[in-house]
Amino acid sequence: MCPFWRIKDEKLLTLEEEILVLESLRRAGVCFLGFEGGEPLMRSDIPEILRESYVRFHTSLVTNGWLLKNKIKEIKDYLDYLFVSIDGIGSLHDKLRGIPGSFERAIEGIKAAKKYLPVSISYTITKDNYYQAVDLVKLSKKLAIGINVQIAYTYSTAEPMAPGKKELYETLIVLLQMKKKGYPIVNTKGYFEAIINSWYRGIRWRCKPWLTINIDPQGRIVMPCYVLNEYSGSYKAWQIDIVELWNKYDWSRLENCNKCALACYLEPSLFNWFNFSIVKERIIDNIVEFIRSKFN
């Protein structure tokens, strides 16, 4: 659903350059770092990169799961959380991924990985799979893992995959109800409520894109966000003062954007220490789960 695989290949950063990126982010005050793709596990040096990240940040990774079963022991000690992309059940997932056997390989990877660290399904709602949202939530419960929901955004360089407005509304309502009933949906209730209010009732949420920084595969900072700029970066992270760059940028013009519903932007934007429900979901519940997983 993301168009970035179409970008022309460039030389990947060396491990030394990756460390320069990590250090520049640490100095800027970054606390959480997530590795996405492409497919991160295709890098032969991913254990070394994750190790360097883990000593600096709370570290997560998103994978399609194809290599996960064989790679998990190499990376398990350097991750706090793992997301595995699942687009549908069985043949639907394989069809959308374009490779037979993808679903089974991903499920095998999930079963292997959850022995070592917290795992969630990463599910993107599209026009092709919205009707399996309930099945995927039930699958996550069966596997005793979480599920994180995104909504396909129609990038200018991608095929239009966003779900229909009516279908999406009905899906969001059902997911919100399942969240309230205690199903293992990682997103907060506020996430679903904000999208419903914004896209269907005209009540906007305040986007705070400055809370998330994106770095492209060549170490360039993508501004203001990768949704609007589609991974067109200008500045190498280690060659510029990120704090100064951030403080000079006019973020206010983006606060009413509301174009996407990507959790990496929407969830941080919604967080408020005075909202007990969000604090409980995002902080207290996660601490309890972390302690429980350590004792298990």
Output the 3-class SS for the chain. CCCHHHCCCCCCCCHHHHHHHHHHHHHCCCCEEEECCCCHHHCCCHHHHHHHHHCCCEEEEEECCCCHHHHHHHHHHHCCEEEEECCCCCHHHHHHHCCCCHHHHHHHHHHHHCCCCCEEEEEEECCCCHHHHHHHHHHHHHHCCEEEEEECCCCCCCCCCCCCHHHHHHHHHHHHHHHHCCCCECCCHHHHHHHHHHHHHCCCCCCCHHHCCEECCCCEEECCCHHHHCCCCCEEHHHCCHHHHHHHCCHHHHCCCCCCCCHHHHHHHHCCCCCHHHHHHHHHHHHHHHHHHHHC
* For residue 106, pLDDT beyond 70: yes
Digit-coded pLDDT (tens) for 120-133: 999 999 999 999 99
Overall average pLDDT of the 40-63 stretch: 97
Among 7-21, 137-151, 200-214, 242-256, which is the least confidently predicted range? 7-21
Q: Which of 14-23, 140-149, 214-223 has the lowest mean pLDDT?
A: 214-223
**pLDDT digits 0-9 by tens, 64-80:** 999 999 999 999 999 99
Mean pLDDT of the chain: 93
Going by pLDDT thresholds of 50, 70 and 90, the confidence category of residue 293 is low
Q: Sorting pLDDT into bands at 50, 70 and 90, what band is 160?
A: confident
pLDDT for res 108: 98
The model's pLDDT over 167-208, given as tens digits with 9 standing for 90+, comes to: 999 999 999 999 999 999 999 999 999 999 999 999 999 999
Distance CA 123, CA 192 (A): 14
What mean pLDDT is predicted for residues 263-291?
83
Alpha-carbon gap, residue 211 to 142, rounded angstroms: 34
pTM above 0.85, yes or no: yes
Domain at 4-199+267-295: CATH code: 3.20.20.70
